């Protein structure tokens, strides 16, 4: 039915409502993606913007600017923060509950790209943190073809348009357009990229492919076994239906400022930080002289020479400015998204930050969890499984290990019968007391089975009946009459 996404990011913004034209929401969001997308490409990507990201000084020649551009290096603050936050969500494996063995086995290669659910979540969370939201299509082969469902992630740049309506008290998609790029063989050894647009409606799909003239033509269409569009969304900074803003936008602006100030400082150091030899009292009419480490100067009696170098006060000011920008990035980095700083803190300070600032990342974790649950539902419907199951995404972002007194308190609650064994083991696992590969359900089943066997072994065997233990025979009726 569907195939994977590999969209290159090139779309045609046109007033004509063609199949590849993005809608108004896409156009409003797109300016907020440009800077972050370039920052994610690193130094090479930011250099591609030239004067857009690194302005040229007044009266600076093009040659001097090009030299300065090639020496300017970007510090990857935004990219590092994105990786860190996505890693917090996947610090512990995703827990699945009541998911069938068939679906669980398929989740070890959830996207048919060799990624299991954990790695797939990490990659998908990065898209949500970069753009503000991410969409996932649960894809499946056409009817009659071998294969099984798989999950394909789409960034907001690839979600060109959509329509919704209220049905049964819920807002549901009635049309969705997704931009894709596939690589096909070209000749005996070559290959080429082909741009496509996938149009989805409840229970049906169309594939529009771009030809050599730039027009899109339908190359495939058909129906699906579902009565809805199998598309799930997770938001990191929602502003509307399939609309959002990059949550790291402020960090990206500071990252760009750091790049520009660092470039200015590097340029000044390369020009003025090297001492210059000055000669006083030497006649101007004299021939040129040279000086170096292996040379000496012969000067007139009244002449003198010395090296001149700047005092360094201006350098200190720029170094302090760079430090202030880095501190702002560190402060906003996790304070804006998590509520904790990227520097070492005491355990008590971490607890305070954690209690006050986990809400934003909690929302992101809940969004990713809801998205996985919806994908599991679509997956189960394709596989005709009666129960879809559910998931649990990690929320212990800072990895706070339980203290001994906390463990003792949990054990006392369990011993008193206040909490169940499952609750006890879940709390111990969340508190980093148990290993990540600890299977709670398997442990509960093993302990219950072991307890049952122990009870059966402890039951006393029935004693054999003897004359002493046999009940006395009741007197016969004749004896009673005789008496």
Rounded-to-integer distance, Cα 153 and Cα 164, Å:
20
CB-based burial label for 318 (10 Å; 0-12, 13-18, 19+): middle
Are 121 and 232 spatial neighbours (Cβ–Cβ below 8 Å)?
no
Mean pLDDT of the chain: 79
Confidence of residue 451 (pLDDT cuts 50, 70, 90): low
Which of these ranges, 21-25, 287-291, 400-404, 432-436, has the smallest mean pLDDT?
287-291
Q: What is the pLDDT of residue 193?
A: 92
Q: CB-side exposure of 294: number of CA atoms within 13 Å?
A: 0
Tabulate helix, strand, coil % of the chain (nearest 5): 40, 20, 40
Confidence of residue 480 (pLDDT cuts 50, 70, 90): very low
Rounded-to-integer distance, Cα 35 and Cα 260, Å:
14
Rounded-to-integer distance, Cα 166 and Cα 259, Å:
47
Residue predicted with more confidence, 1 or 94 = 94
Are 247 and 125 spatial neighbours (Cβ–Cβ below 8 Å)?
no
Q: What is the pLDDT of residue 352?
A: 42
Average pLDDT for 94-99: 92
DSSP string for 417-481: TSS-HHHHHHHHHHTTSS-TT--HHHHHHHHHHHHHHHHHHHSPPPPPP-TTTSPPPPPPHHHHH
97 alpha carbon, distance to own chain's centre:
22
Which of these ranges, 184-188, 310-314, 326-330, 383-387, has the smallest mean pLDDT?
310-314
Q: CB-side exposure of 205: number of CA atoms within 13 Å?
A: 24
Q: What is the pLDDT of residue 355?
A: 43
Q: What is the pLDDT of residue 125?
A: 95
Residue predicted with more confidence, 86 or 424 = 86
- Whether the per-residue pLDDT at 245 is higher than 70: the answer is yes
Which of these ranges, 51-60, 277-286, 339-348, 461-470, has the smallest mean pLDDT?
339-348
Rounded to 5 degrees, φ, ψ at 295 are: -125, 160
Q: CB-side exposure of 292: number of CA atoms within 13 Å?
A: 4
Which residues, in sequence order, are bridge partners of residue 30?
none
Residue predicted with more confidence, 479 or 397 = 397
Average pLDDT for 94-122: 93
**pTM of the predicted protein model:** 0.73
274 alpha carbon, distance to own chain's centre:
45
pLDDT in tens, 277-328: 666 666 665 566 666 666 666 666 666 666 666 665 566 666 676 777 777 7
198 SS3 class: strand
Q: What is the pLDDT of residue 343?
A: 44
- Give me the helices (H) in 107-200, please: 117-131
Rounded-to-integer distance, Cα 51 and Cα 71, Å:
14
Q: What is the pLDDT of residue 457?
A: 56
pLDDT in tens, 9-18: 555 554 457 9
Which whole-number Å values give the CA distances from 146 to 140, 143, 260, in the listed order? Answer: 10, 8, 54
Which residues, in sequence order, are bridge partners of residue 199?
177, 206
When mean pLDDT is compared over 282-291, 344-353, 390-399, the highest value belongs to 390-399
Which whole-number Å values give the CA distances from 264 to 43, 261, 353, in the listed order? Answer: 16, 5, 36
Rounded-to-integer distance, Cα 141 and Cα 222, Å:
11
Residue predicted with more confidence, 18 or 476 = 18
């Amino acid at each position: 039915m569907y195939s994977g996404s590999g969209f290159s990011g090139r779309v045609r913004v046109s007033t004509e409502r063609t199949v590849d034209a993005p809608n108004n929401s896409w156009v409003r969001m797109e300016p907020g993606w440009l800077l972050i997308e370039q920052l994610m490409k690193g130094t090479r990507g930011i250099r591609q913007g030239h004067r857009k990201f690194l302005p040229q000084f007044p009266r600076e020649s093009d040659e001097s600017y090009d030299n300065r551009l090639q020496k300017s290096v970007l510090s990857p603050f935004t990219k590092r923060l994105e990786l860190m936050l996505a890693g917090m969500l996947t610090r512990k494996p995703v827990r699945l509950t009541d998911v069938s063995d068939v679906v669980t086995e398929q989740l070890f290669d959830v996207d048919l790209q060799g990624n299991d659910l954990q790695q797939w979540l990490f990659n998908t969370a990065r898209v949500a943190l970069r753009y503000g939201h991410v969409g996932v299509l649960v894809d499946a082969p056409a009817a009659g073809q071998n294969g099984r469902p798989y999950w394909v992630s789409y960034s907001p740049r690839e979600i060109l348009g959509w329509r919704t309506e209220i049905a049964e008290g819920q807002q549901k998609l009635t049309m969705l357009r997704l931009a894709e790029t596939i690589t096909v063989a070209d000749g005996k050894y070559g290959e080429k990229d082909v741009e496509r647009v996938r149009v989805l409606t409840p229970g049906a799909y169309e594939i529009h492919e771009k030809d050599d003239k730039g027009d899109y033509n339908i190359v495939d269409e058909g129906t699906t076994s579902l009565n809805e569009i199998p598309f799930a969304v997770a938001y990191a900074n929602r502003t509307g239906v399939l609309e959002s803003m990059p949550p790291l936008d402020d960090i990206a602006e500071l990252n760009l400022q750091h790049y520009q100030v660092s470039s200015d400082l590097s340029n000044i150091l390369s020009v003025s930080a090297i001492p210059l030899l000055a000669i006083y009292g030497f006649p101007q009419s004299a021939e040129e002289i040279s000086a170096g480490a292996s040379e000496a100067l012969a000067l007139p009696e009244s002449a003198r020479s010395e090296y001149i170098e700047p005092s360094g006060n201006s350098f200190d000011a720029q170094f302090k400015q760079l430090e202030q920008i880095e501190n702002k990035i560190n402060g906003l980095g996790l304070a804006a998204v998590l509520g904790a700083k990227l520097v070492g803190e005491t355990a008590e300070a971490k607890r305070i930050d954690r209690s006050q600032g986990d809400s934003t990342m909690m929302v992101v974790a809940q969004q990713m969890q809801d998205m996985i649950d919806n994908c599991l539902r679509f997956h189960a419907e394709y596989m005709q499984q009666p129960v879809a199951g559910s998931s649990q995404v990690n929320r212990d972002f800072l990895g706070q290990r339980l203290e001994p007194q906390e463990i003792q308190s949990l054990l006392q609650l369990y011993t008193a019968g206040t909490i169940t064994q499952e609750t006890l083991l879940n709390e111990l696992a969340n508190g980093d007391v148990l290993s990540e590969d600890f299977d709670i359900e398997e442990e509960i089943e093993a302990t219950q089975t072991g307890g049952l066997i122990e009870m059966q072994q402890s039951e006393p065997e029935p004693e054999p009946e003897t004359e002493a233990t046999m009940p006395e025979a009741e007197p016969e009726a004749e004896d009673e009459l005789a008496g």
